[in-house]
């Protein structure tokens, strides 16, 4: 497998919208160039940060093709494809143009709250049918169910499941996975603020939100942590920690869109039911951004 899937900094891209809520393709191109120039290791399209639940099927197809053409092999690409109907997810994978993509990030089924046996069967069927390798995504705060360490380690034995994006916040669960995982399976942080700790404990990096704002800084922190330069990585971690926290204070991706707008990338527009950050959070975002740049 390509090493990018195991080590480094990926970024969960936003979908920029104009004030009329149409996709802002010019801003999206600017964002991609900002990320590539910032030396990020890979890009992730159409995760939750990209407001995937509010994107139409036609828009999703356009985004998939546009991103692959825009990147043109300069950076590896991961595509978010998930849902709470196994057969519908498999159908989507089989009928999506995956040219230019290296892996699929697929969230644990949400809302219907399957048990662990159902989760294993879901991912096994998906991995059996997918032409691309699968990255698990455990985010119980959004899905309503946690994929246990035992479940993830069982799935890690499948040859077409290569990593997990762990956003449970449970460090003990993550350490259990890191300690017991197969050599060809990696644990990727799904929480910006925990990335330094998880990487220092043996994780392989992050799929980040904040990295699209500060790509050089955050990817350098991850590289130093992976290289065992813990003191240097720790310094970079604490410099960006306030930003990592405050961008999620009033929903995501409202916080990151607010700050990207400050550097000239896109409007702050979100699609309902998401709404812009409140005034208090906006002030906190701007204060954290000013401190970061001192």
Residue 118 and residue 111 in contact, taking contact as beta carbons nearer than 8 Å: no
Q: Cβ contacts of residue 49 below 8 Å, gap of 6+?
A: 12, 13, 14, 209, 252, 253, 256
Backbone angles phi, psi at 27, to 5 degrees: -65, -35
- Catalytic residue ranges: 137, 165
Whole-Å CA distances, 283 to 16, 155, 286, 287: 21, 43, 5, 6
Rounded Cα gap, residues 214 and 223, in angstroms: 14
Q: Report the interhelical angle of 230-246 vs 215-226 (nearest 10°).
A: 140
Rounded Cα gap, residues 122 and 180, in angstroms: 22
Beta bridge partners of 12: 44
Element holding 136 (H helix, E strand): strand 134-138
């Amino acid at each position: 497998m390509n090493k990018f899937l195991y080590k480094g900094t990926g970024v969960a891209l936003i979908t920029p919208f104009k004030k009329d809520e149409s996709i802002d393709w010019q801003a999206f191109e600017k964002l991609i160039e900002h990320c590539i120039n910032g030396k990020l290791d890979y890009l992730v399209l159409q995760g939750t940060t990209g407001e995937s639940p509010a994107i139409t099927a036609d828009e999703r197809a356009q985004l998939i093709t546009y991103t692959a053409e825009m990147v043109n092999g300069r950076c590896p690409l991961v595509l978010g494809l998930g849902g709470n109907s196994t057969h519908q997810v498999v159908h989507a994978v089989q009928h999506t143009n995956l040219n230019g993509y290296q892996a699929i990030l697929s969230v644990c089924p949400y809302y219907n709250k399957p048990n662990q046996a159902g989760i294993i069967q879901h991912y096994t069927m998906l991995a059996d049918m997918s032409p691309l390798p699968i990255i698990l995504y455990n985010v119980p705060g959004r899905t309503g169910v946690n994929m246990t360490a035992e479940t993830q380690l069982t799935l890690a034995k499948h040859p077409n499941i290569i990593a997990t994006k762990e956003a449970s916040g449970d460090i003990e669960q993550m350490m259990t996975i890191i300690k017991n995982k197969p050599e060809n399976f990696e644990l990727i942080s799904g929480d910006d603020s925990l990335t330094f700790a998880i990487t220092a404990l043996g994780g392989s990096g992050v799929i980040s939100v904040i990295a699209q704002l500060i790509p050089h800084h955050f990817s350098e922190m991850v590289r130093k942590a992976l290289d065992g330069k813990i003191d240097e990585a720790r310094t970079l971690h604490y410099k960006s920690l306030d930003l990592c926290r405050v961008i999620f204070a009033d929903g995501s991706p409202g916080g990151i869109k607010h700050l990207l707008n400050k550097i000239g990338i896109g409007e702050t527009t979100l699609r309902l039911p998401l709404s812009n950050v409140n005034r208090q959070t906006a002030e906190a975002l701007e204060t954290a951004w000013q401190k970061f740049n001192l």
